[in-house]
Structure 1
Amino acid sequence: MRSLQCSLLPFVTIAILLFPLALNATNLAPIDNTGVQIQPMQQNGITYLSGGIGEDEARAIGQAQGYNLHMTFAIGPENKYVPDVDVTVQNSSGQTLLTLSDAGPLVYVQLPPGKYSVVATRNGEERRDTADVGSGAARKLVFHWNSSE
């Protein structure tokens, strides 16, 4: 038994080391644009993407550049993506910059540097978070609900 464990160790080690590369390769895989309906939208001068239903749409949004706020909406213990979320983004002065209905499961937003409040509502149940965005890496927010109801 010990001999079997020792002989498998190099293979397990290589698999663990290569796993992140496999994930990146999947994210960079070609996208079949025939089913992708993602187009940049604007509201109050704020550009955003909303969608991600299906693997190609999710990858298309995930590969989009220039969006400094990334939001993901999910439910249940399996973290299943949900596309039926109402979203409000307000600046630090309380001014509403973005109001979306039935958004998601991914929403990427281009915002000027600053601090923002985000309210995500699904079936009347609110989730709140704040995002400090700048010119660096995108700020990622995940909103989760416990049930699919």
Structure 2
Amino acid sequence: MHNAVPILALVALVWSGAAWAQSPLPAPSPALKTVEPNEAVPLPEVKTAGTVQYVSGGIPHEQLPAFRAARRDYALNIEIFQRDGGRSVFTADAQVRIVNVKSGELMLESKIDGPYLWAKVPPGQYRVVATLNDQVKEARVTVKASQSTRAVIVFPQAQE
């Protein structure tokens, strides 16, 4: 009798699978749109914190061209990566703070939605402090009026 239960379960699974395969699938909701191959995804919505406008993201991969195209429109381009073996990979969910070195003013604090955070900050010197998995990394940058400045922060490989 113990062997009958798995056999009955297998028969029920096969039978229900055959019935499922024959029934038509419902039409997908327009709200559940997926990215088509080679389809570009626009930048995420611009957010504002105090006087700083910013965007964060870079995931899905199809969003990268939009971020590259917008790089020059934002004075500060922050990129966050994490080591994975011998390479750096995209990461998301880092907490990022941008602090004006001269005044000590916190310009922006945000959890980012991908590896990129582009911010419109005035010219000056800034500390970029990123936290990921209880690890803190910092970069110091000088933002000039005529060009965008890039800050790259790479976290060590996550401990398992």
Same topology, TM > 0.5? yes
- The equivalences for 1:1-149 within 5 A come to 32-33=40-41, 36=42, 38-64=44-70, 65-76=72-83, 77-92=86-101, 93-149=103-159
Q: Check 1:103–1:119 CA distance in 2 against 1; reply closer, same or farther (3 A cut).
A: farther
Give the 4+ runs in structure 1 shifted more than 4 A.
Answer: none
Offset of residue 102 of structure 1:
4.0
Query: What's the secondary structure of 2:146's corresponding residue?
Result: coil
The 1:119/1:103 distance shift into structure 2, 3 A limit, reads: farther
Change in CA separation of 1:126 and 1:88 when aligned onto 2, cut-off 3 Å: same
State the shift of 1:106 in Å.
0.5
CA displacement 1:74-118 (0-9 Å, x = unmatched) = 111321000110000111211111000244310101111111111
Identity %: 24
Q: TM-score, normalised by structure 1?
A: 0.72
Residue identity opposite 2:61 in structure 1? E
> What stretches of structure 1 of length at least 5 have no aligned partner?
1-29
What root-mean-square deviation, in Å, do the aligned CA atoms of Structure 1 and Structure 2 show?
Answer: 1.7
